Structure 1
Amino acid sequence: MVRAEIAFNGKARPLVWSNVKLCRAIDEYLVYRRVARHGVTTAPAAYRGLDPHGSLFRASDGEPFTFTRRVTGSGTISYSCETLTEIVRRLHYQAGIEGGNASAARRSFAVQLHRQGRSLKLIQTLIGVSSLSAVKSLIEADPVRLATIVSGVI
């Protein structure tokens, strides 16, 4: 779960790990965290011996990532983590995705869900946007849909 206090829009939302490779990588990471003793606990019911109230992902020293609290001109509070932003940027670069960022990943996820026939309300919940019109704006930019429209005109 992305907690409301660290979500970019202040709204909690579920995290969905549906990719097999991603699930395997997270499993390996959790094993590493336990061996490295990053965020471990002695609580008997703790999953894999890790503190259930602690951060899932941690910096290389085992400490939780630090977030910067910002207040926009309109008074909206947002949080960011430059370290995570840089990691996401680097992962996109390594994958050959030019100009990749968290917003582009969110848009790709929304478009993929829409292509699978998922409801706009579900997409709204999963990507953590506040309005259905924001979801519609994201999925209307589907390059496959745009290509179909263009091919029908040309």
Structure 2
Amino acid sequence: MTKPGVIENHEIRHALKVAAVTGQNTERDVALLAVAYGTGITPNECAKLLVSDYLSANGNVVRESKVRAEIAFNGKARPLHWSGPSVQAAIDEYLAYRLVARHGVTTSPAAYRGLDPQSPLFLAGDGQPFAFTRRITPAGAVSYSCESLTEIIRRLHQQAGIAMGNASAARRTFAVSLHRKGLSPKLIQELIGVSSLSAVKRMIEGNPVRLASIVSGVI
């Protein structure tokens, strides 16, 4: 199976700029990209996040939140940090848009910035929750996937000319970025929720920038 690509910082910045001027829901799309690359969360998990996973009742950002067990892809809670300033700025701009558009608002403007805390953090263009597609595997197990959100992320990369860009690439890029900053595989495993350290190592191995740096220093 082909490993997802690693998207470099300049490509991510370009995708964010293109998303900001393309499409009908630019604030949401910029925030989706920022969250994908800033947290490593999966599309299914992202579609299930609630406003209360990001905001406290007084309207402040919950910097140290979590991917709740009931929404995590593996059924296990893990840390979710909203400490990145660019991620916060993108989400805040989208939530301000939601308030103006009256998407998921309440009659209590003093709490949660006027948004329903049980409303999904991200909504479809019509202000409704993203839909999930029900599938039955050959073994008879039932699974649900948010194909519409996955497709949005793929489209945002495509319109920016990033051929290998998709949700899986964003998730691997998050892991590789943590590795480049010196985080241990154990900490990366905790943040992305994969099953084993060997799975983390498979995600971060073949780091193209590290290889390029080594080669450039040969002579």
Q: Provide the TM-score with structure 2 as the length reference.
A: 0.59
Seen in structure 2, the aligned counterparts of structure 1 residues 10 and 92 have a Cα distance that, compared at 3 Å, is farther
**Structure 2 counterpart of 1:128, which letter?**
G
Give 3-state SS (helix, strand or coil) of 1:135's partner. helix
- For 1:123 and 1:73, the matched residues in 2 are separated by 32
- For 1:119 and 1:29, the matched residues in 2 are separated by 33
- For 2:136 and 2:197, the matched residues in 1 are separated by 24
Give 3-state SS (helix, strand or coil) of 1:79's partner. strand
The 8 Å contact of residues 109 and 115 in structure 2, kept in 1 or not, is answered as: no
Give 3-state SS (helix, strand or coil) of 2:144's partner. strand
**Structure 1 counterpart of 2:115, which letter?**
L
Aligned residues: CA RMSD: 2.9
Give 3-state SS (helix, strand or coil) of 2:158's partner. helix
Partner in structure 2 of residue 48 of structure 1: 113
Q: Does 1:25 find its partner at 2:90?
A: yes
Query: Larger relative CO (CA 8 A, sep 6+): 1 or 2?
Result: 2
Partner in structure 2 of residue 9 of structure 1: 74
**Structure 2 counterpart of 1:91, which letter?**
L
Q: Does 1:99 find its partner at 2:99?
A: no
Identity of aligned residues (%): 75
**Structure 1 counterpart of 2:122, which letter?**
F
Q: Provide the TM-score with structure 1 as the length reference.
A: 0.80
Seen in structure 2, the aligned counterparts of structure 1 residues 75 and 112 have a Cα distance that, compared at 3 Å, is farther
Partner in structure 2 of residue 113 of structure 1: 178
The 8 Å contact of residues 123 and 129 in structure 2, kept in 1 or not, is answered as: yes
- For 1:7 and 1:70, the matched residues in 2 are separated by 18
Partner in structure 2 of residue 34 of structure 1: 99
**Structure 2 counterpart of 1:21, which letter?**
S
- For 2:71 and 2:204, the matched residues in 1 are separated by 25
The 8 Å contact of residues 10 and 78 in structure 1, kept in 2 or not, is answered as: no
The 8 Å contact of residues 15 and 126 in structure 1, kept in 2 or not, is answered as: yes
- When the two structures are aligned, how many residues end up with a matched partner? 154
Q: CA deviation at 1:106?
A: 0.8
Residues 111-150 of structure 1 mapped to structure 2, 5 A cutoff:
111-147=176-212
The 8 Å contact of residues 68 and 80 in structure 1, kept in 2 or not, is answered as: yes
Seen in structure 2, the aligned counterparts of structure 1 residues 46 and 13 have a Cα distance that, compared at 3 Å, is farther
Stretches of structure 2 lacking an aligned partner (at least 5 in a row):
1-65
Stretches of structure 1 lacking an aligned partner (at least 5 in a row):
none
